[in-house]
Amino acid sequence: MHKRQIETFHASVRLANQNWVEAFNAGDCEGCSSFYEPDGVLHVLPFGTFNGRDAIREFWKNFIWENSGKFEYIEPELKIVESQSLIL
């Protein structure tokens, strides 16, 4: 990827992340899970791995229920692993 492509990719991910955080803070597990592909995978240490949007939705539903409050990332790091994927 060229520098400009990387900057654009990072900007779009940051915007999507901001929208995800807003959904989480509103208690919207449907909104949180909508950011994942139907066959997406969520790795959350120490809670486990959740395969597919339905499992991810259930995780966020339970997590939000048990941990209501404000969520925010502090200095998140973005690592590109493929041209269309990254780790946050």
pLDDT tens for 22-61 read: 999 999 999 999 999 999 999 988 999 999 999 999 999 9
Host domain of residue 20: 3-87
Domain count, the chain: 1
Kindly report the CATH number assigned to the domain that includes residue 64.
3.10.450.50
86 near 80, Cβ under 8 Å? yes
Q: Identify which of 7, 10, 32 has the alpha carbon closest to the alpha carbon of residue 19.
A: 32
pLDDT in the model for residue 57: 95
pLDDT in the model for residue 83: 64
pLDDT in the model for residue 30: 94
Model pLDDT for residues 57-73, shown as the tens digit of each residue: 999 999 988 876 677 77
Cα 45 vs. chain centroid, distance in angstroms? 14
pLDDT in the model for residue 73: 73
Q: How far apart are the first and last CA of the chain?
A: 18
